[in-house]
Structures are given as C-alpha cells and as structure tokens.
C-alpha cells in the first residue's frame, strides 16, 4: 500500500497542483490516459466544490486530499471543514447547486459519481464534508 496526503489553502489557484500531484502519485501503476484524465477531473471537482460550496470562497481555510493505492485500487479522500451539505441527496442531483448563477454549476458530484467505482459523501452541518472516492485501475497486458 502506498499513501500520500496534501493539505493546502482553499484557493482555486491550487487546483492544478492538487490534480497533478494525485496524477503523479498514480503513475507508478501505469494508468491509461483516460484514467489519468478521470482521476484529475474527480480531484478537481471535489477540490473546487470544497472551496466554492464548503467555504464559500474563504481562502484562509484548508482542504485535505489523501490518496491511497492498494494493488490496482485508488482511494481518494477529499475533506473540508466548511459549512457542510444540508441535503446530500438533493446536492447529488444533476444541475442542483447552492450557487446556480455560477458557470457549470450543479454537475460536480454527478461527474465524480459517474467516473468513480464507489463514491460516498459524509457531511455535517457547520463541520464539513468528506468525500471518499474509489477507482479501480485497469490492468494492462504484461503486468
């Protein structure tokens, strides 16, 4: 088992760093290009949701990203200590957003769910949100 953890300021400028760090971490498993794109997308959606919805753009807060590789399975935990999700079922509905005027609003959780093999949301009002995402990487011939 291999593991990494990043904690960084809740600033959108850190999105690229977080995405690329997780993608680099996974490279030891020789993932496909499609898998890398999917992983980077899931990390980006989770990270930006924490900033935009969890912290309402407050940049003095932090988001933690933990990645664990066990055999061919990647487990991601993205966590914030923000306002929490009042209604997880409603928040998971495509096109629902607490910020409907924002461009591309309402698809983040749906995208993560579609790209992952398992997806769990734990959230408490005023205590934050924890997303647990599992993705199994395809085994390539010769491995």
CATH number at residue 92: 3.30.565.10
Examine residue 58 and state whether it is found in any structural domain, yes or no: yes
Examine residue 98 and state whether it is found in any structural domain, yes or no: yes
Examine residue 94 and state whether it is found in any structural domain, yes or no: yes
How many CB atoms are located within 10 Å of the residue 24 CB?
11
Strand partners, 124: 128
pLDDT cut 90: percent of the chain above it? 75
| Alpha-carbon torsion (30, 131, 77, 41), positive or negative | positive
The vertex-37 CA angle with 128 and 59, nearest 5°, equals: 35
Evaluate whether 27 touches 82 at the Cβ level (below 8 Å). no
* Residue 29 DSSP class: G
- Count up the domains in the chain and report the number: 1
Cα separation, 63 vs 129, whole angstroms:
10
Examine residue 131 and state whether it is found in any structural domain, yes or no: yes
| H-helix or E-strand spanning residue 24 | helix 15-26
Strand partners, 134: 75, 118
Report pLDDT digits (tens) over 34-73.
Answer: 999 999 999 999 999 999 989 998 999 999 999 999 999 9
Between the alpha carbon of residue 143 and those of residues 3, 21, 47, 108, 127, the distances in Å are 21, 24, 32, 33, 43
pTM: 0.89
Domain coverage including residue 131:
2-136
Examine residue 141 and state whether it is found in any structural domain, yes or no: no
Cα separation, 132 vs 16, whole angstroms:
20
Examine residue 143 and state whether it is found in any structural domain, yes or no: no
Examine residue 142 and state whether it is found in any structural domain, yes or no: no
Report pLDDT digits (tens) over 76-134.
Answer: 999 999 999 887 776 676 655 666 666 556 678 999 999 999 999 999 999 999 999 99
């Amino acid at each position: 088992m291999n593991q990494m953890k990043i904690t960084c300021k809740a600033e959108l400028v850190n999105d690229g760093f977080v995405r690329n760090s997780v993608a680099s971490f996974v490279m030891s498993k020789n993932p496909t290009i499609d898998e890398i794109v999917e992983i980077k997308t899931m990390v980006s959606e989770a990270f930006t949701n924490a900033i935009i919805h969890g912290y309402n753009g407050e940049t003095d807060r932090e988001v933690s990203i933990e990645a664990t590789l066990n055999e061919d399975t990647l487990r991601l935990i993205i966590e914030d200590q923000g306002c929490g999700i009042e209604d997880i079922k409603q928040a998971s509905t495509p096109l629902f957003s607490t910020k409907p005027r924002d461009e591309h609003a309402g698809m983040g959780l749906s995208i993560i769910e579609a790209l992952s093999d398992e997806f769990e949301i734990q959230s408490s009002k005023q205590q934050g949100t924890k997303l647990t995402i599992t993705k199994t990487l395809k085994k390539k011939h010769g491995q």
